[in-house]
Structure formats: structure tokens, C-alpha cells
Amino acid sequence: MTGTKIASTAAAGTGSGPFLLDVRGLSKTYRSSDRTVEAVRDLTFGVAPGELACIVGPSGAGKTTLLKCVAGLLPPSGGEVLLDGARVLRPPENMAVVFQEYGRSLFPWLTVEQNIDLPLRQKKVPKRRRRELVAEALESVGLADVPGAYPWQLSGGMQQRVAIARAVAYEPAVLLMDEPFAAVDAQTRAELEDLTRELWRRLGMTVLFVTHDIEEAVYLGQRVLVLSAAPTVIMEDTAIDLPAEREQLATRSAPRFAELRAHIYSQVQRAKTYHRADPAGRPADPAGDEADHAEARP
């Protein structure tokens, strides 16, 4: 990009430094009776306390696989994930996840209040404190007036707000978000983006946000990590040097926003054909879109 300076956070991409979330040499290979799919080859990066980092990449880059490994929902084939210096072997108590499919993550037979309260019960939070946390979480996402409603009575955007409220009430040190706004309309998406940044800044959470939307990544993040096509490596770790205070129209209209968006877009396009040689020196064999969905196979 001629005349445009893009900062690369090289230190952040090496996994060295005071990170709350530290991913080191992470790899994941899916094996079945008739084939092997190398979804993630070698991912190393860190996320500092209180940081909001976004991950983008071409379809099939293993973004969901990465997030499941980070969350302790899927065992890696190699490498490790550390949370506050402790190795993640199962879902950590101080981590919460907001999924894309909010309709499947909420229990339709429980009210909004009960859905938010459920993980707090499992965490053995005292009843009085649970009530406080649920009320505060609902207030923070603008749903203080619907605690007794059921998810199926709410719009898609409101259901996703419930999912975010449930994660916030859990008081996690790290919040993982897997394309959480992909299924809502553009106006609701903008509102939820602003809500995410507001909660992140007010609560001081560390957020790792996966998205297909390049504009969303630039608008939300302090950093954007670009993944290559599978088998996945990190191609680039870019600092987003936009003002801390962001507003949908003004920020997206700024020349710097356009420069960063174009740069990340060019990197994602390049990522589609970027394949690093494996340790034995053989060219990588791209796995395409199947990498993200291989876990569904027997």
C-alpha cells in the first residue's frame, strides 16, 4: 500500500512477554480412518491483560478450531495454551465464550434470568451475589426489563445480548467471541460491536474476537491477527492505531480506517495462497474449507 505505514506488533506475535493468554506452537490435526487433515500447523501469539485482539483469515483457516483449543474444548495435537501461566487442559473457570449460534447456546425452556444464572450456579456463586451479577449483566446489555422472558420470545439481536450478558455475569478474565454477530442484521451488528467495546473498556476484560468481517476487526480491535489458509500459521500481527474512542460513522469514515481496512484485506487475500513449507521442507497441502469442519467427521 503506497504511502501507508502499517505497524506490525512483532513482539506480540512471538508469544514472548507479559501475556495473560499465551498460545505457543499450537497445532491441530484431525485424523479419521481414511484421511488426515492438518487444520492448524503452528500458531504462536499472546494477548496482554485488558487487550482486545481480533483474528481474521480466509474461510477454512481454522479460526473456530483455534478458539476451541484456546477454550479447552478441543485438545491440541501439539503446543500449548497458557492462561495466566497455567496450562489450559479443560475449560478454565476464568474464561467465557460467546458463540455465533446464540439460538443453540441458550436454553429455550429457561428464562433470560435463568440462562444467565445457570453457569453462576455451577460456579457455586452464593445466591445473593448471583442475583446481583445477573441484574448488573442485564443492565449492562440493555435488557433489564426482560429477565422473565424466554429466548424464543426475543429477537436475534436480543438473544445475542443475553449470551453476552451471561458471559459478563461470569466475570471472566478472558472472553472469547466466535463470530458472535454474523447472524444478525447490519444495524444490530453495529449496536453489538459498540456494546462489546463498551463492556471491554468498562470491565477491563481481555477479549479474543474471531470474525470474517475485516471492517469489524479493524473497528473493534487494538490488534488484528491474520491467519493463513490451512494448515494455519499467523501471517501478520497488525497494530490498529485508531483513537481509543470510536464511533461507527466517524471512525469508519476516517482515512486511517480505510488504510487499515485495505491493508488487512490485502493480507487476507494473500493468505488464501500462503502456505509455509512443513518442518521437513515439503510444501504444505492446503486443506481448504474442510479444516474448520473436520471435527464433525467420524
Question: Cα(35)–Cα(28) distance, rounded to whole angstroms?
Answer: 14
Q: Where are the domains of the chain?
A: 12-94+172-296
> Are 91 and 170 a contacting pair, CB within 8 Å?
no
Instruction: Please report which confidence band the pLDDT of residue 188 belongs to, taking 50, 70 and 90 as the band edges.
Output: confident
Phi then psi dihedrals of residue 228, to 5 deg: -80, 175
116 DSSP β-pair partners: none
Residue 246 has pLDDT above 50, yes or no: yes
> Are 16 and 46 a contacting pair, CB within 8 Å?
yes
Q: What is the sign of the dihedral through the CA atoms of 41, 45, 50 and 52?
A: negative
Cis peptide before 231 (omega within 30 of 0): yes
Residue 240 has pLDDT above 90, yes or no: yes
> Are 259 and 251 a contacting pair, CB within 8 Å?
no
> pLDDT tens for residues 195-204?
999 999 988 9
Widest Cα–Cα separation across the chain: 60
> Are 234 and 41 a contacting pair, CB within 8 Å?
no
C-alpha pair distances (Å), 81 with each of 29, 44, 71, 72: 16, 9, 9, 9
What mean pLDDT comes out for the span 24-41? 89
**Mean pLDDT over each residue of the chain, to the nearest integer:** 85
> pLDDT tens for residues 136-155?
999 989 899 999 999 999 99
Instruction: Please report which confidence band the pLDDT of residue 37 belongs to, taking 50, 70 and 90 as the band edges.
Output: confident
Question: Cα(108)–Cα(281) distance, rounded to whole angstroms?
Answer: 51
Instruction: Tell me the one-letter amino acid at 116.
Output: I
Helices (H) and strands (E) in the chain, counts: 10, 10
Q: Is 138 exposed, middle or buried (0-12, 13-18, 19+ CB in 10 A)?
A: buried
Instruction: Please report which confidence band the pLDDT of residue 15 belongs to, taking 50, 70 and 90 as the band edges.
Output: very low
Alpha helices in 182-228 (DSSP H): 186-203, 214-220
pTM: 0.84
Question: Which CATH superfamily does the domain covering 12-94+172-296 fall into?
Answer: P-loop containing nucleotide triphosphate hydrolases (3.40.50.300)
Q: DSSP assignment, residue 8?
A: B
